[in-house]
Amino acid sequence: MKVCAVILAAGSGRRMNVGRNKVLLKLEDQSALMRCLQTFASSGLFAEIVVACRPEDRAVIEQKVADHLPDAAIRFCDGGSERQYSVREALRLVPEDVEIISVHDAARCFVTVPVIERSVRMAEEFGSGVAAVPMTDTVKRVENGIVESTLSRDGLVRVQTPQSFRAELLRKAHAQAEEDGFLATDDAALVERLGCPVHVSEGAPDNIKLTVRQDLREGARILRGRSGGMRVGTGFDVHPFGEGRPLILGGVDFGCDRGLIGHSDADVLVHAVMDALLGAAGLPDIGVLFPDTNERYHGASSLLLLAEVGSCLRTRGFRIVNIDCTLILEEPRIRPHAEEMQQNVAAALGIAASAVSIKATTAERLGALGRREGAACQAVCLLAGGGSGA
Ligand code: CTP
Ligand code: MG
């Protein structure tokens, strides 16, 4: 589906009170807005990104985008006096053939690709996907400093952005709100008014909105947690060739009748990637996780196992920075299929395809691999986080 993002940067940051629009404040090396745009652009999910900004901020923002994201399809519009009006202005720039629109506050600059992807996928399937996290605090209604009642925490969530919707649903919700003079602080509220179900997708505790000054300190902590604690992992796998087996590498079926022998689909590339990821996370290897004594894994698609590894890392708070693989085999030629393999691996892990690199080399006819008796793969990966950033 054609998906477009709307990034809202047209506020003034009154509550932050730093004398300028808070989304232009630098956190470490980047402004909040540029951090958001980088994450959205690198996700590979969006055909186009529309940024709503104030006319007085526009020249600075356009220059930064030209310098740092020259290849991204990013357009700009003037925002409105309220957040909702900024969304409305941006919707005018979203092309008619876009099917899913993801609205995101630039002030939520610690958003990660998995959070964005879950919101978009939910909207593709159900029409809406609003990032949310469970309530952990007890919530009370207070009047004049006195507790009136305690709300049950059951069924309460804190909503975030991105909030993704089928385009026609979001446009209709905004048109209706405009007609009724209804104003809300998020887009889901406008869709709820139409009586349409709003689905929630898994957000992240770190996906905070920079609102008051204290959030800058929390933001610095989040970034420290991400840049520190990098972990590297390596994986290696080898499988022999055999007649009458399909050859599957990186989830791509090469259509040969001489493929790799193994308990699962013997996808040597995906196996090496899984071991690199598990190694980096300090977890047991795939032999322990997916033993070949378990019938469930007989003939299993390794991409499904890879997705399991991905979610295992996510729940431990790891973010995959990048993966680099080298296949070692005499034939067939890999390069024509490398992009598809790269996309398969990235999709299984919910990361950007640009974070996965796949290349191949021959063994120069040396040894068993050189005699075409088998194929091997080595993989290296880098993980960030561990305890945050999911
Ligand atoms: N926003 C916008 N247009 C507006 C108001 C807000 O695009 N007229 C954007 C902000 O830039 C921010 C997001 O909507 O990324 C969420 O709004 P909020 O946190 O309220 O930001 P501000 O309105 O800038 O802050 P404040 O309310 O404290 O002035
Ligand atoms: Mg505001």
Whole-number pLDDT of residue 390 = 33
Is the pTM for the entire model greater than 0.85? no
Kindly give the distance from the C-alpha atom of residue 55 to the centroid of ligand 2, in angstroms, as a whole number. Answer: 17
Choice among 13-17, 209-213, 292-296 with the minimum mean pLDDT:
292-296
Best probe residue, ligand 1, of 6, 7, 12 (max atoms within 8 Å of C-beta): 12
| Nearest atom within ligand 1 for CA of residue 108 | 15
Q: Name the packing angle between helices 55-68 and 32-43 (round to 10°).
A: 50
pLDDT band at 228, cuts 50/70/90? low
Cα distances (Å, whole numbers) of residue 108 to 31, 105, 218, 241? 11, 6, 12, 49
Length of the chain: 390
Residue list, ligand 1 pocket, CB within 6 Å: 8-16, 22-23, 52, 79-83, 86, 105-107, 209, 211
Beta partners for residue 295, in sequence order: none
Sign, CA torsion 328/332/335/337 = negative
> Nearest Cα to 284, choosing from 299, 292, 274, 296?
274
**pLDDT above 50: residue 315:** yes
Q: What is the DSSP letter of 296?
A: G
pLDDT band at 387, cuts 50/70/90? very low
Q: Which amino acid is at 257?
A: D
> Nearest Cα to 84, choosing from 6, 194, 200, 195?
6
Best probe residue, ligand 1, of 6, 7, 8, 15 (max atoms within 8 Å of C-beta): 8
pLDDT band at 282, cuts 50/70/90? confident
Whole-number pLDDT of residue 263 = 82
3-state secondary structure of 356: strand
133-180, pLDDT tens digit by residue? 999 889 999 999 999 999 988 889 999 999 999 999 999 999 999 999
Nearest ligand atom owner, CA of 23: 1
